[in-house]
Structure 1
């Protein structure tokens, strides 16, 4: 790959990945506002799963409709459908069981920063799975610095207590790990399935699983108004656009080259949560955490050109 093609490719990855991260960052205040608009109590996990289920089922249906209009084949063989189903049950269902639970017990600002751990998990997992995606000194240092940022955001203002709960912050970290592992598996599946079709099926299957789980646990979604319905529609569009674009990026690029941009999610999530949820952003620990996370981005992406060009 020549120098011009290399830098053009990086610019495209940067722009598309940034858009995805902006959309995902906006999900933090959107979901928390959704809890309020649909009158979902903090401890009502079942209804949260129903809320998530409708979001992903509709998002999947939108993508499958787009694929059908584009005359892309929706028929998959039994083995491939099994792989896509597994992806949907992990990347969508399992991840969002943890994510929606954690978001109910942690602030949007803190959750967005904690979710950055997914980038480190992706870089570490890719090292063991892909021979052309090994852990370098810069990547290792970036992971350490980024994890330090995640630790900082969990300290109290006086540095005397460590504010971390399994149900809140712990669930967010688990969601990040599940997404990282599932994304690597999804990269493999995407090599022989159209990205839009793959994303559509996995979102729809994951959404159905969330709905069934939520309904079985006694959940029900009420309180539909123009405002709450518009917010749900935004979440549907957000999911269909971000997940399909991200799947395409992973299909044609190295895992570490793409997933490192997940570090931008806490930046967008923190700012948008501060704007729309009136949460504090200028606490020293939030500023320090964001600074360390951004430094982690720079370190992990600071690779020599030949290594990236070999993607």
Structure 2
């Protein structure tokens, strides 16, 4: 497995595969809201729906780890607390903002706004790591990326429109994703990537369900046969993508891997136009996607002699 995760071409294939999976999440969730008859203003239903999804995703990963490498499944009390904090930030908090924000923007907007997490990570790394400071190259990448985000949301018709529970929540999802990335890199050392994924999904999902289930209204979530299919796919999407991604990060430089995240907004936008009625790619969206993709590539291009994130 380790050899596969270090082979150049398999690394590229896995990184692209993960990015495509994440891109499919945007139209998937928009369609799921309609299929499960979840109201656009029903915050609690979305919290419970996210909790159920990530509980299943976490159990899938932990189940696979139990079969393949059961020793890595067990964690210490200290590691449990670390993973609980990571689960609260990366699963509970991030996906609270993501699920509720996506309900109030288009799938294409969501895919592009979500890419802000990559750029916020670069900003945080500047303050947190001594050898990952801001450079002219990174500044150009950030300007391109945030410029694309601005154009995608407010450059069409040059009209300014911003809702805190829509665009605001999606940006906050990006911020929490960036914080969680730094936390996972710094705090979860020595823990198997699959264990990180499985435990933080499971623990974060339990937090969401503890908050949401007591407040869930009757028939707030209506399960159908097609809905079950969407639900299972969404859980598999998260468990497979995150487990593989953390595994890649363990054996490869972060910059070389994260570069492929430019595929997420591109595939998310394209898939949204294919599966969500009424969503079309406009020239402004195409320009925005190009800027965001370029920004992600630029900020993740590192000189060969530069070490990965270090606080020393």
Match in the other structure for 1:155: 154
Q: What whole-Å deviation, never above 9, does each CA across 1:95-141 have from its counterpart, x for those lacking one? A: 00000110111011011111111110111212222334333321221
Q: What whole-Å deviation, never above 9, does each CA across 1:181-239 have from its counterpart, x for those lacking one? A: 10121122332111111211110111111112111332565422221001100001001
Q: Label 1:255 to 1:302 Cα distance change in 2 as closer, same or farther (>3 A).
A: closer
Deviation at 1:310, TM superposition (A): 9.7
Match in the other structure for 1:61: 59
In structure 1, the gaps of 5 or more residues are 1-7
Q: Does 1:127 align with 2:135?
A: no
Q: Does 1:237 align with 2:275?
A: no
Under a length normalisation based on structure 2, what TM-score does the superposition of the two structures give? 0.90
- Alpha-carbon RMSD: 2.2
Query: 1:247-286 residue pairs with structure 2 within 5 A?
Result: 247-286=246-285
Using the alignment, how far apart are the partners of 1:300 and 1:172 within structure 2?
21
Under a length normalisation based on structure 1, what TM-score does the superposition of the two structures give? 0.90
Match in the other structure for 2:92: 93
Deviation at 1:279, TM superposition (A): 3.9
Judge conservation of contact 1:49–1:100 (CA < 8 Å) in 2: yes
Match in the other structure for 1:170: 168
Match in the other structure for 1:144: 143
Using the alignment, how far apart are the partners of 1:91 and 1:277 within structure 2?
27
Match in the other structure for 1:246: 245
Tell me which moved more, 292-301 or 137-146: 292-301
Deviation at 1:158, TM superposition (A): 2.4
Judge conservation of contact 2:262–2:297 (CA < 8 Å) in 1: no
Tell me which moved more, 294-303 or 36-45: 294-303
Tell me which moved more, 210-219 or 140-149: 210-219
In structure 2, the gaps of 5 or more residues are 1-5
Using the alignment, how far apart are the partners of 1:276 and 1:241 within structure 2?
22
Match in the other structure for 2:190: 192
Match in the other structure for 1:3: none
Using the alignment, how far apart are the partners of 2:196 and 2:275 within structure 1?
33
Q: Does 1:72 align with 2:77?
A: no
Aligned residues: 304
Match in the other structure for 1:182: 180
Q: Label 1:85 to 1:39 Cα distance change in 2 as closer, same or farther (>3 A).
A: same
Match in the other structure for 2:214: 216
Using the alignment, how far apart are the partners of 1:80 and 1:302 within structure 2?
32
Judge conservation of contact 2:255–2:301 (CA < 8 Å) in 1: no
Tell me which moved more, 278-287 or 167-176: 278-287
Deviation at 1:50, TM superposition (A): 0.9
Match in the other structure for 2:45: 47
Q: Label 1:308 to 1:57 Cα distance change in 2 as closer, same or farther (>3 A).
A: same
Using the alignment, how far apart are the partners of 2:169 and 2:86 within structure 1?
19
Using the alignment, how far apart are the partners of 2:99 and 2:279 within structure 1?
21
Deviation at 1:13, TM superposition (A): 4.1
Using the alignment, how far apart are the partners of 2:189 and 2:252 within structure 1?
11
